[in-house]
Chain A
Amino acid sequence: MTLAAPVPAMAASLSGLIAGRRRIGLYVLGGLALACLLLAVVAIGQGAIGIPPGRVTEILWARLTGDGALLEGRDALVVLNIRLPRVLLGLLVGAGLAVSGALMQGLFRNPLADPGLVGVSAGAGLAAAATIVLGDRFLAGTLMKLPFAMLPFGAFCGGLISTLVLYLIATRDGRTSVATMLLAGVALGALSGALTGLLAFISDDRQLRDLTFWSLGSLGGASWSKLSIVAPIILPLLLTMPLLARGLNGLMLGEAEAYHLGIPVQRIKALAILLVALAVGASVAAAGLIGFVGIVVPHLIRLSVGPDHRLLLPLSALGGAILLVAADIVARLIVAPAELPIGIVTAAIGAPFFLWLLLRRAGGALDV
Chain B
Amino acid sequence: MSEAVPVLSGRNLGFHAGGRALVAEASLDLRPGSTTILIGPNGAGKSTLLKLLTGELAGSGGVRIGDETLGAIPAWRLACLRAVMAQHSRLAFPFSVYEVARLGVDGVGRALTRQRREAIVAEALAAAGVLDLAGRRYQTLSGGEQQRVQFARVLCQLEAGRSVAERQILFLDEPIASLDLCHQLALLDMARTIAARGVAVLVVLHDLNLAVTYADHLVVMDRGRIIAQGPPAETLDDALLRQVFRVGLSLSRAPAPGLPFLLPQQHRSRHAG
Contacts and interface: CB of A to CB of B under 8 A. Distances in A.
Contact of B56 (A110, A259, A263, A307): A259
Interface in B191-215: 193-194, 197
B131 A246 contact: no
A1 B131 contact: no
Contacts of A250: 103, 106-107
A306 interface: yes
Given A246-B106, A262-B76, A257 B86 contact: yes
Nearest to B82: A260
B122 A17 contact: no
- Of residues B82, B91, B100, B139, which shows the largest number of chain A Cβ atoms within 10 Å of its Cβ? B91
Interface stretch (A4-12, A116-124, A225-233): A4-12
Contacts of A5: 123, 126
A11 B118 CA distance: 10
B9 interface: no
A3 interface: yes
Contact of B93 (A7, A18, A111): A111
Interface string B93-105: 1111011100110
Given A3-B190, A7-B131, A17-B98, A262 B107 contact: yes
B37 interface: no
A259 B118 CA distance: 22
Contact of A261 (B103, B118, B122): B103
Interface string A1-40: 1111111001101110110000000000000000000000
A261 B92 contact: no
A367 interface: yes
Contacts of B55: 259
A308 interface: yes
B86 A256 contact: yes
Nearest to A252: B92
A260 B132 contact: no
A117 B55 CA distance: 34
B131 A14 contact: yes
A252 B107 CA distance: 14
Contacts of A264: 75-76
A55 interface: no
Nearest to A6: B126
Contacts, number: 123
Interface in A327-368: 364, 367-368
Contact of A246 (B77, B83, B93, B107): B107
Contacts of B82: 260
Contact of B126 (A11, A15, A306): A11
A259 B84 CA distance: 10
B131 A10 contact: yes
Interface of B is mostly: helix
A254 interface: yes
Given A1-B197, A4-B127, A308-B99, A263 B75 contact: yes
A249 interface: yes
Contact of B132 (A4, A10, A246): A10
Interface string A252-277: 11101101111111000000000000
Interface in B98-132: 98-100, 103-104, 106-108, 118, 122-127, 131-132
A14 B84 CA distance: 25
B155 interface: yes
A265 B76 CA distance: 11
A4 B131 CA distance: 11
B80 interface: yes
Nearest to A108: B92
Contacts of B193: 3
B78 interface: yes
Given A6-B131, A10-B131, A17-B135, A260 B54 contact: yes
A2 B92 CA distance: 31
Contacts of B77: 262
B84 A260 contact: yes
Contacts of B99: 249, 306, 308
Contacts of B135: 14, 17
- Of residues A7, A246, A260, which shows the largest number of chain B Cβ atoms within 10 Å of its Cβ? A260
B149 to A, nearest CB: 11
A264 B76 CA distance: 8
A246 B76 CA distance: 13
Contacts of A254: 86, 89-90
Interface of B: 51, 54-56, 75-80, 82-84, 86, 89-96, 98-100, 103-104, 106-108, 118, 122-127, 131-132, 134-135, 139, 155, 157, 159, 190, 193-194, 197
Given A3-B193, A6-B125, A261-B106, 17 more contacts: A2-B123, A3-B123, A3-B124, A3-B190, A14-B98, A14-B134, A111-B93, A252-B95, A253-B103, A254-B89, A256-B86, A259-B56, A260-B56, A260-B82, A306-B96, A367-B93, A367-B139
- Closest 5 A-B residue pairs measured CB to CB? A262-B79, A109-B92, A307-B93, A6-B126, A3-B127
Interface of A: 1-7, 10-11, 13-15, 17-18, 109-111, 246, 249-250, 252-254, 256-257, 259-265, 302, 306-308, 364, 367-368
26 contacts: A3-B124, A3-B126, A3-B155, A4-B123, A4-B126, A5-B126, A14-B122, A17-B134, A18-B98, A18-B118, A109-B93, A252-B91, A252-B92, A252-B103, A253-B103, A256-B86, A260-B83, A260-B86, A261-B104, A262-B75, A262-B77, A262-B78, A307-B94, A308-B95, A308-B99, A367-B94
